[in-house]
A and B are shown apart, each in its own frame.
Chain A
Amino acid sequence: MTVKTQTQTQTQSGSLARIFNSRKNYLKVPWWQYLLALFLSVLFLFPLYWMGSTSLKTMEQAYAFPPVWIPNPIMWENYVRIFTELPFALFTLNSLIITVLNTIGVTFSAAFVAFGFARLRAKGRDVLFIILISTIMLPYQVILVPTFLLFKYLGWINTFGPLIVPAFFGGGAFNIFLLRQFFMGIPFEYDEAAIMDGAGWFRIFWSIILPMAKPALTAVAVLNIVYVWTDFFGPLIYLNDLNKMTLAVGLAFLRGQHSAVLTLLMAGSMLSTIPMLIVFFLAQRYFVSGIQLGGIKG
């Protein structure tokens, strides 16, 4: 019965299949699925290509009809201009400072709190955990105005404080949940052995659990880097001065100016995108593991 189904698929997919699937492992996949995947890949890549190519064109070529597919000459000057004529170097630095400090705060404080919830027993733990989980459902807007007022009274408007300091207070309910799931999977015998040897809880956390949780910590850190770097709402509310702005708000601000030049806006957009592409290619597998860690098992 199985043999029959296999031969059927083979004859159906025809001769192209043999070209595409020359190795036997791939025999089962019909050729049109390759074609579809390739076609969609072009569709997915094209807008990104168009951003990049527009960013390297002269203004005439950007608006030319018929469209210019490959910029000629290649205007690297556009990238020089966003750094010299516009404050993009400062935007990048600001984005970098906020992203790095926020991510340090989120990763370590989420791990610290998650350790408590995962490996220590105490009265009230379960109730507190339910409260923690339910805050994931709370829309940020509900606490938006008072949080803004709080930072205003603290005199923190137009500083990086509101975008960094809260990260050190638990690092977000979802990250705590994620790390707790991972910590619970580590055998408790490690803790018991360490206690026998006279280690305290902090020691167990720092020297045993943290080193073993490196993949999970990296996943949380990587996802947070993308989240903070691309965040628009936070910096929009808290940062007003041009020299305090991140890439995201800086771009939006410059677009609102009359002097906004398309090719430069695209160069700025590329500049804000490229670091994310680098992070992705360096830490690809953590994107997937971070999602699996979420434990979408229902």
Chain B
Amino acid sequence: MAAINQLPPPRRRGLNLKPSQRETVAFYIFILPWLLGFVIFTLGPMLASAYLSLTEFSIMSPPKWVGLLNFQQMFQTKLFWQSMYNTLYMVALDLPLGLVAALGAALLLNQKLRGVNVFRSIFYLPVLIPAIANILLWVWIFDKDAGILNTIIKSVGLPPQPWLTSEIWSKPSLIFMNLWAVGGAMLIFLAGLKGIPQELHEAAKIDGASAWQAFWKITLPLLSPTILFMLVIGVIGEFQIFTQGYILGGGPNFSTTFYVLLLFNNAFRYLKMGYASAMAWVLFAITLVITLAVFRSTPYWVYYESERRR
């Protein structure tokens, strides 16, 4: 990098600039698309959204300043807390179960199985199914009367369940459905496992460690940065759940009215744009707090090899 400055300047065009100045100009030209996009599609809307969250705004008439009223109303609405509960339910159950399943699948398919690439592809296939096709399929599989799941359950003599049409079962059904799509997380764990030097496992074996011990003392610590990454994007992802709740109409009895679905309904169904913006900022604050808490906890469980080297 340092060598670049000592080089003769690129061909001169018009302006008489020093090479480092030319480089600066070039830099800003190259990042211009993003810089414009950032101002137009991120920074501007962010400021506008912060303002709108303090107003009452239904598109039809100009925004009316209401101060913190939106937030006050929000915290007093039962459905807001219901949607928060539904979402946190998924964070608490869907996320850890998904990560454990993905890690299990990755460990299995990290073995030198014959045809391992075929297995990996098969495990990954469900990830490629568009969310909408996915939920339509599972609505059919979970169908109370003619669904294949209840047919199988009945045939082994167990009582059929109402699955997606029951307040109690709807979220567990969605978790089950999401387990089917662990392939994406599995692939990331596989990449992480590939990064663990083989010698460590061989050395442990020579020292007489069991596979179980090697997993807890070698694999898991060395995989912890990957787990951290998956945890952070996982929390953000769980808070973004939308399509499934939307197709299920937010029911039964609001049990699949997730946070973003409620936000969407407020914005585009009831045209409460100010209120929806306020909800968005609360969402941002929550994800930020949880993510920071996860990062704060890293010294206790995340192992970085570079730390040791320094």
If over half of B's interface residues share one DSSP class (helix, strand or loop), that class is named, otherwise mixed; here it is: helix
A144 within 8 A of B: yes
- Bound together, the chains give a CA A65 to CA B148 distance in angstroms of 10
Tell me which residues across on chain B come within 8 A of A16, comparing CB atoms. Answer: none
Tell me which residues across on chain A come within 8 A of B60, comparing CB atoms. Answer: none
Q: Considering only CB atoms, which chain A residue lies closest to B135 in the complex?
A: A252
Given A41-B122, A65-B146, A142-B281: A128 and B31 interface contact (C-beta under 8 Å) = yes
- The answer on a CB contact under 8 Å between A145 and B121 is no
A185 within 8 A of B: no
Tell me which residues across on chain B come within 8 A of A130, comparing CB atoms. Answer: none
Q: Considering only CB atoms, which chain B residue lies closest to A237 in the complex?
A: B268
20 contacts across the A-B interface (CB closer than 8 A): A21-B114, A44-B123, A48-B125, A116-B29, A116-B31, A121-B20, A147-B45, A149-B273, A188-B3, A191-B4, A195-B4, A199-B10, A200-B13, A232-B242, A269-B137, A273-B128, A280-B125, A291-B188, A294-B188, A296-B188
Measured between C-beta atoms, what is the minimum distance from B149 to chain A in Å?
10
The tally of residues in A whose CB lies under 8 Å from a CB in B reads 110
A182 within 8 A of B: no
Given A36-B108, A122-B24, A232-B132: A113 and B30 interface contact (C-beta under 8 Å) = yes
Measured between C-beta atoms, what is the minimum distance from B89 to chain A in Å?
19
A76 within 8 A of B: no
Contact of B138 among A37, A47, A196, A284 (CB under 8 A): A47
A-B contact count (CB 8 A): 298
- The answer on a CB contact under 8 Å between A200 and B11 is yes
- Bound together, the chains give a CA A201 to CA B263 distance in angstroms of 45
Which of the four size classes fits the interface of chain B? 35 or more
A219 within 8 A of B: no
Tell me which residues across on chain B come within 8 A of A277, comparing CB atoms. Answer: 125, 128
Among A65, A145, A226, A268: residue with most chain B CB under 10 A: A145
- The answer on a CB contact under 8 Å between B191 and A291 is yes
- A60-88: contact bitstring with B at CB < 8 Å (1 yes, 0 no)? 00110111000000000000000000000
- Bound together, the chains give a CA A65 to CA B34 distance in angstroms of 57
Contact of A139 among B37, B122, B187, B287 (CB under 8 A): B287
- Bound together, the chains give a CA A176 to CA B32 distance in angstroms of 13
If over half of A's interface residues share one DSSP class (helix, strand or loop), that class is named, otherwise mixed; here it is: helix
- The answer on a CB contact under 8 Å between B132 and A248 is yes
- Bound together, the chains give a CA A44 to CA B182 distance in angstroms of 10
- Bound together, the chains give a CA A255 to CA B248 distance in angstroms of 11
Q: Considering only CB atoms, which chain B residue lies closest to A170 in the complex?
A: B34
New A-B contacts (6) at CB < 8 Å, excluding given A145-B48, A230-B131: A33-B111, A34-B114, A54-B140, A139-B280, A142-B49, A273-B129
Contact of A145 among B20, B44, B267 (CB under 8 A): B267
B213 within 8 A of A: no
- Bound together, the chains give a CA A26 to CA B59 distance in angstroms of 65
- The answer on a CB contact under 8 Å between B42 and A121 is no
- The answer on a CB contact under 8 Å between A232 and B131 is yes
Among B29, B38, B128: residue with most chain A CB under 10 A: B128
A212 within 8 A of B: no
- The answer on a CB contact under 8 Å between A120 and B23 is yes
- Bound together, the chains give a CA A143 to CA B190 distance in angstroms of 34
- Bound together, the chains give a CA A234 to CA B300 distance in angstroms of 40
Within 8 A of B (CB), among A9-30: 20-21, 23, 25-26, 28-29
Measured between C-beta atoms, what is the minimum distance from B242 to chain A in Å?
6
Which chain A residues have a beta carbon within 8 Å of chain B's beta carbons?
A: 1-2, 5, 20-21, 23, 25-26, 28-29, 33-34, 36-37, 40-41, 44-45, 47-48, 50-51, 54, 62-63, 65-67, 109, 112-113, 115-117, 120-123, 125, 128, 131-132, 135, 137-150, 152, 166, 168-171, 176, 188, 191-192, 195-196, 198-202, 205, 226, 229-230, 232-233, 236-237, 247-249, 251-252, 255, 262, 265-266, 268-270, 272-273, 276-277, 279-281, 284, 287-288, 291-292, 294, 296-298
B192 within 8 A of A: yes
Tell me which residues across on chain A come within 8 A of B45, comparing CB atoms. Answer: 142-143, 145-147, 150
**7 closest A-B pairs (Cβ-Cβ)?**
A169-B37, A298-B225, A116-B30, A170-B34, A269-B133, A122-B27, A146-B45
- The answer on a CB contact under 8 Å between B36 and A44 is no
Given A137-B288, A142-B49, A277-B125: A121 and B27 interface contact (C-beta under 8 Å) = yes
- Bound together, the chains give a CA A67 to CA B145 distance in angstroms of 12
- Bound together, the chains give a CA A188 to CA B264 distance in angstroms of 48
B14 within 8 A of A: no
Contact of B304 among A195, A232, A298 (CB under 8 A): A298
Given A137-B288, A138-B42, A143-B41: A37 and B108 interface contact (C-beta under 8 Å) = yes
- Bound together, the chains give a CA A51 to CA B141 distance in angstroms of 9
- Bound together, the chains give a CA A227 to CA B208 distance in angstroms of 46
